Structure 1
Amino acid sequence: MTRRFDFKQLDVFSEVPLKGNPLAVVLGGDGLSVEQMIAFANWTNLSETTFVLAPRHPAADYRLRIFSTSTELPFAGHPTLGSCHAWLQAGGVPKGQEILQECGVGLVRIRRSEHGLAFLAPPLLRSGPLDADMLERVRNGLGLTADAIVDAQWVDNGAGWLALMLKDRRQVLALKPDYHQLLDLAVGVIAPWDRAVDGDAAQFEVRGFIAGDGMPEDPATGSLNAGLAQWMLGKGLAPSSYVVSQGVTMGRAGRIHVEQVGEEVWIGGAVVTCIEGSLTL
């Protein structure tokens, strides 16, 4: 027996359609099996597809399951903001001032912001420096010389990210990864903008590579930027409020807004709906 589900496809971290990170959202997907969710996520061929379900936790407003083209993720940033936008647009009413999303890492706080929506960065599951063998593997996979890397760290908040900091934006934009060497790794690269050369629309340039996934480069990544923010703010390498540019080499113009409020780090951006309809499965 087939069923119909409300469906939206959105662009996250952009005010302009087709310039951010696309996301497929299935609303009211409780009647779908895990096998159907996996098959549909693989079929969309987007970096992530989500299914909004009834919450199990009494404090949550909704529950979210997040799938890449090949696996389920306990947390991801742009699916969190995009799914929240879709839920609100479909008439969802939060129980409190903030929206509480239930997902694999637990409850994630989301709030409305001047830039759209923002989520509270979840705690890092793994941090600290990369070991020498891993650093060498990533350096070779990115085609970098040893002196090009300013610093490197695990910034894993559920998506497996590790990160490298380079000296300037041009180095980041020039990267041509060897995905075979980076297979099964999630690698983020960041460098500061030079205001005199790059302008002031953003303060950092980021690229995110996910070798082995259907989308080997991500155009605008909430989870990666959440981990990067906790790393850089913790080391005093970034101001308490800044903007990240991502997706330039893919023809996108993602903008991720980072704000530290006390001990909390919020990751936000705009979301636009591009497609609305129904899914029959």
Structure 2
Amino acid sequence: MHQYSEVDVFSPKPYLGNPLAVVHDAEGLTSEDMQRFAKWTNLAETTFLLQPTNPAADYRLRIFSAAQEFPFAGHPTLGSAFAWLKAGGAPKNNCTIVQECGAGLVTVRVENQRLAFAAPPLTRFEPVEEPLVQRVATALGVSRERIIDTSWLVNGPEWIGVRLSSAQEVLSLQPDPRDLGSLSIGVVGPHLPGHDTQFEVRAFLGGDPVWEDPVTGSLNAGLARWLSAAGISDRRYVAAQGTAIGYHGRVHLDIEDGEIWVGGDVTSCVNGEVNL
């Protein structure tokens, strides 16, 4: 038996963010065991907490979707750090957690209920080739002219970032799942002044199944790098995500000396044991 947690990430209100399953003390489980259980939970991601192999790390994390393992993902990083702390984990360095994962070491800051991770560098950050932009426009159900800009934003997941002119345009999207293929598309547009967030974000993931992610840390990390480099975002801003599908995600972005910090509230929803 293993200690087991389910947490909600990127919302101060339970069940309005992105859920995550966390298996504690996962030594002894094979990759096949982990993948099988992640498929069974049928959540966006399931994570497994392990002893670190790097002496600088507090724990090691493996991250699985229902179909594959990821070297890094955002909401699993925050949710797993929260679950590790709640289970009695004690950081070596006061209120800063160091996570070891496939992408290397990731620093997580703890500020009461809100946690924030230092985004790993983008491994691909360049304009998207025009034939693929045309395909993205078709998948999103918009004309090519409505897309202001695009960029590869790869930091584990292979996101294609798409800028539209307004949050309302983002909210009105109705992509055709048949056209998404295996693409992972993140769309962003600005809210009007006076809104409680600066941008609206949506994340569409192709594959099997095709679906929309409620709130996405890795995508927002890449978007923050892109928007900051283009001089479009403030140094600190909040992005909304999940609105179109009934969620209330809030992602807090903070750009400090060129480093992107991605933060959000985490709430505990389920605690118990799992037979693996």
TM tier, smaller: over 0.9
Give the one of 210, 215, 219 matched to 2:214.
219
> 2:91 matched to 1:66?
no
Cα distance between partner residues in 2 of 1:114 and 1:245: 21
Runs of 4+ in 1 over 4 A off after TM superposition: none
Cα distance between partner residues in 1 of 2:209 and 2:130: 28
Match in the other structure for 2:189: 191
> 2:46 matched to 1:49?
yes
Residues 29-108 of structure 1 mapped to structure 2, 5 A cutoff: 29-97=26-94, 98-108=96-106
Aligned residues: 275
How high is the sequence identity, in percent, across the aligned residues?
49
Cα distance between partner residues in 1 of 2:18 and 2:136: 24
Match in the other structure for 2:171: 173
Letter of the aligned partner of 2:234 in structure 1? P
TM-score after normalising by structure 1: 0.96
SS of structure 2 residue aligned to 1:30: coil
Match in the other structure for 1:268: 263
Letter of the aligned partner of 1:55 in structure 2? P
Q: For the Cα contact (< 8 Å) 1:50–1:66, is it kept in 2?
A: yes
Letter of the aligned partner of 2:271 in structure 1? E
Match in the other structure for 1:232: 227
SS of structure 2 residue aligned to 1:205: strand
Match in the other structure for 1:109: 107
TM-superposed deviation, 1:95: 0.8
> 2:206 matched to 1:208?
no
SS of structure 1 residue aligned to 2:8: strand
Q: For the Cα contact (< 8 Å) 2:113–2:266, is it kept in 1?
A: no
Give the one of 140, 143, 154 matched to 1:142.
140
Distance 1:240 1:110, change over 3 A: same
Cα distance between partner residues in 2 of 1:213 and 1:240: 37
Match in the other structure for 1:277: 272
SS of structure 2 residue aligned to 1:258: strand
Letter of the aligned partner of 1:122 in structure 2? P
Letter of the aligned partner of 1:51 in structure 2? F
Task: Compute the RMSD of aligned alpha carbons.
Answer: 1.1
Q: For the Cα contact (< 8 Å) 2:128–2:150, is it kept in 1?
A: yes
SS of structure 2 residue aligned to 1:238: coil
Describe the superposition over 1:155-201 as per-residue Cα deviations: whole angstroms up to 9, x where unpaired: 11111111100011111111111222211111100000012xxx421
